[in-house]
Amino acid sequence: MSKIEINNIYKIFGPNPQQIMPMVKDGASKEQVMEETGHTVGLDNVSLSIEEGEIFVCMGLSGSGKSTLIRHINRLIDPTAGEVLVNNVDVCSLDEKEILEFRKKTMSMVFQRFGLFPHKTIIENVAYGLEIQEVPEDQRHEIAQGQIKAVGLEGFEHQYPAQLSGGMQQRVGLARALATNPEILLMDEAFSALDPLIRSEMQNQLVELQAKLKKTIVFITHDLDESLKLGDHIGILNGGRLVQVGKPEDIILNPADDYVKAFVKDVNRSKVLRARTIMTKLDKFDKSSVNPSSTYKYDEDTYIEDIVPKVLKDRSTIEVIDKEGMTTGFITSDELSVALTKTK
């Protein structure tokens, strides 16, 4: 059972969405529907499943429906058709009270422009989710204090959001989302408004936190590098349709269509591909040409950017080993050159 399961979701914006449904189901494109009826197709038959403890990155350009999709998971938006199962419960079947309870306990959200409350201090902001749950003040401030420490913002507790820089504000957003200890974290372009250095710092911080917390994270971004860096799985949306879902390597090596190809064209492959993906398996490799003195052992999860210098510098061969130390394959300059060649 997946943590979050999205089945055949449709979302149409406009005055009469139900009337347009048959047309969309028949496969009319977003532009066609817009022209003929004035309705906007937000999501068009999207199905996904997201496993517990993974970071699922949902990628697409503006208007591809990614922000709409994430808002279906906590039902800030109601779907026109389809169902969203979280922990095997259909979110759309919950009544008003249940949905509030569900949002309080199960998930929290981080926003692109932070969504902090400008009239509350940092600690009050972080404690907001707990305030809504009516946790007594000293208790919630204690928890909030812990989260503020975890994101490295000690000393700023009693300042207002506007007094902090963008990166710091988003840390507050992250701390606020984590303070309620939710099972699921929804991050809507959480780092897109930050400058590149801060962004990469925040990404590292998220990866670090995730290693400890093991939450289920749904992350929205329009930045492919970011999605490759963070995602255990990546879903690519185009015009409300889900074009491809897969592991970062799959997306790079086997782009499903021209849209995805255009996306991955300029990616630095050596930062995404791992030794395991590009090696030649042990049984298929001709060992006779290998000079044992210039063979280095690398873990199969190593990114190839760490291997490249070794191979190029002294023409050495890389022996790929798994967690138990068993050899699983080899990498030479041949494998590298194939892996690093751009798809046309």
Partner 1 sequence: MIRKLLTYFTFPIIFVWLLVVSYNSSKRKPDSAMELLTDPSWLYDWPKWLDIPLMKWINDGFKVFNEKYGIYFEVINDFLLGAILSLKKFLIVLPWPVVIALVVAIVFFSSGRKLGTTVFVGICTFFIGFLHPKFWDKAIETTSIMIIGILICIIIGIPLGIAMARNNKLRNAILPVLDLMQTIPSFCYLIPGIMLFGLGAVPAIIATVIYAVPPLVRLTDLGITLVDTEVIEAAEAFGASKRQKLLGVQLPLALPNIMQGINQCTMMALAMVVIASMIGTRGLGDEVLLGLQQLNVGKATEAGLAIVLLAIVLDRITQAYGKKIQDRNQPPK
The site for partner 1 (CB under 8 A) is made up of 71, 74, 76, 99-105, 107-109, 111-119, 128-129, 131-133, 160, 162-163, 180, 186
E runs forming strands in 239-335: 241-246, 280-281, 295-299, 317-321, 327-331
Other residues' Cβ atoms within 10 Å of the Cβ of residue 238 = 20
Query: In terms of CB distance, is 104 or 310 closer to partner 1?
Result: 104
Q: Which two tokens stand for residue 12?
A: 């149409």
Strand order in the sheet with 89-90: 40-50, 4-13, 81-86, 89-90
- The H or E element that residue 218 is part of is strand 216-221
Question: How far apart are CB 34 and partner 1 at their closest, in Å?
Answer: 23
Question: How far apart are CB 185 and partner 1 at their closest, in Å?
Answer: 11
Give yes or no for a contact between 260 and 244, defined as CB atoms under 8 angstroms apart: yes
Question: How far apart are CB 88 and partner 1 at their closest, in Å?
Answer: 20
Tokens 């300059």 appear where? 333
Question: How far apart are CB 212 and partner 1 at their closest, in Å?
Answer: 22
Question: How far apart are CB 176 and partner 1 at their closest, in Å?
Answer: 8
Query: In terms of CB distance, is 139 or 163 closer to partner 1?
Result: 163
Report the sign of the C-alpha dihedral through residues 44, 24, 262, 255, in that order: positive
Report the DSSP pairing between strands 40-50 and 4-13.
antiparallel
Angle between helices 17-25 and 30-37 (to 10 degrees): 140
d(CA 133, CA 135): 6
Residue 167's Cβ-side half-sphere holds a number of Cα atoms within 13 Å equal to: 15
Question: How far apart are CB 208 and partner 1 at their closest, in Å?
Answer: 24
Closest C-alpha among 180, 173, 130, 137 to residue 153: 173
Query: In terms of CB distance, is 218 or 272 closer to partner 1?
Result: 218
**Residue 119, class by beta-carbon neighbours within 10 Å (0-12 exposed, 13-18 middle, 19+ buried)?**
exposed
Question: How far apart are CB 80 and partner 1 at their closest, in Å?
Answer: 20
Give yes or no for a contact between 81 and 8, defined as CB atoms under 8 angstroms apart: yes
Give yes or no for a contact between 319 and 294, defined as CB atoms under 8 angstroms apart: no
Query: In terms of CB distance, is 160 or 303 closer to partner 1?
Result: 160
One DSSP character per residue, 258-322 reads: HHHHHHHTT--GGGT-BHHHHSEEGGGS-GGG--GGGEEEEETT-BGGGTHHHHHHH--EEEEE-
Query: In terms of CB distance, is 104 or 276 closer to partner 1?
Result: 104
Question: How far apart are CB 129 and partner 1 at their closest, in Å?
Answer: 4
Query: In terms of CB distance, is 105 or 281 closer to partner 1?
Result: 105
Query: In terms of CB distance, is 132 or 326 closer to partner 1?
Result: 132
Question: How far apart are CB 211 and partner 1 at their closest, in Å?
Answer: 25
